[in-house]
Amino acid sequence: MLYELGRRIARIAMKLLFSISVEGIENIPDQGPLVVCANHISWWDPVLLAWIMPWPVHFMAKKELFCSGLMTYLLTKLHAFPVNREKADVGAIRTGLAVLKAGEVVGIFPEGTRQKTPDKLGPGHGGAALLAIRTGAHVLPVAIRGRYGFRSVIRVACGTPFEVTGGTGKLATDVQEGSLQVMEAIRDLWETLAPDRPA
């Protein structure tokens, strides 16, 4: 209930504040499980993805946001769950696995933090690849490019969902290679959104 209300408010706010163009909406599957992976340039990014996606996204959010009872309540109602970015967070992985096994959607920013330089992508972490490998869920790569400011242009591209390939017999190796696949897919989309390319 609160998620859908927030989504409707976000839709209005995003349209008023920014000029957003979205490519590849047709690539979004009509059912889960699904891991949505995007680059991260602003705290507006999860709001943007929640607006684009047709059903609720359970976002991994840094544990520092769960700083009070009220914030924890609100973020939980908005389907966010905490992750400790300083270590391999087993609890966050278990939550993500449970969401995917229920046929729902997990949202992850593989870079792990916002990039202060919007014209660069950071390295990816392995959480998204691990979840995809463990559950067989497809990954939907999403690229976001632009600078959030009043009526600024934000360009978004949704790529083709893909399965993270493994098969080496070593989970750590499969996760590392899968993380590279995820970031490569995001990068390929991100490059198509370069400012000198037509909208």
Q: Is the pLDDT of residue 12 over 70?
A: yes
CATH number listed for the domain at residues 2-192: 3.40.1130.10
* pTM reported for the whole predicted model: 0.92
Write out pLDDT tens, residues 89-144. Answer: 899 999 999 999 999 999 999 998 898 887 889 999 999 999 999 999 999 999 99
Q: Is the pLDDT of residue 40 over 90?
A: yes
Domain residue ranges in the chain: 2-192
Q: How far apart are CA 11 and CA 18, in angstroms?
A: 11
Determine which helix (DSSP H) or strand (DSSP E) holds 153, and give its type and residue range: strand 153-158
Q: Is the pLDDT of residue 197 over 80?
A: no
Beta bridge partners of 106: 35, 58
Mean pLDDT rounded to a whole number for the chain: 91
